[in-house]
Amino acid sequence: MVVPAKKQQLLDELIRVWKLLGRRPTYSEFKTHGKIGPKAYERLYGSWTKAVATLSKQAGIVIQGTIFTNTSPELLRSELVEISNKNGGMILQHKDYKRLGGTYSIGTFQNHFGSWKKAVASIGLLTFAQQMNHLAWPCVQ
């Protein structure tokens, strides 16, 4: 597929920032690290999300959690393990998962596991609330 020059520049810059961060950049991260402002992507594609999805598809990059991909419990577990390793082997709350680069919404976890707590438990970890409960009620032997 031949990509027009302006679109190729946008694609090249998106890939550059993606590689810099080691993952898909958020809007605010791209605003900070990109040499082309995200507004240029919005003007051409209608929204930042559509721009990232379209350009990624052109480049053959599969973005987890988009309409172009299928999500499975195995994929979600794999990402949870990866994110927990970035956080010393702990998963606290969904907002921490997202802050550390997690790509899926809490609804995706709820759809596949029934709850965030069950998703975290599926990889053998405790949620923040469960960790605090264990600290407050130590086991008596």
pLDDT digits (tens, 9 = 90+) for 32-83: 999 999 999 999 988 888 888 888 777 776 665 554 456 788 888 888 888 8
* Residue-number span of the structural domain to which 45 is assigned: 5-59
Number of domains in the chain: 2
In a domain, 68, yes or no: no
Q: CB 25: neighbour CB atoms within 10 A? A: 22
Instruction: Decide if pLDDT at 92 tops 80.
Output: no
Mean pLDDT of 18-45: 87
* Residue 125 located in a structural domain: yes
Running DSSP on this structure, what letter comes out for residue 139?
P
What is the structure's pLDDT at 107?
Answer: 86
pLDDT band at 128 (very low <50, low <70, confident <90, very high): low
Whole-prediction pTM = 0.48
Examine residue 96 and state whether it is found in any structural domain, yes or no. yes
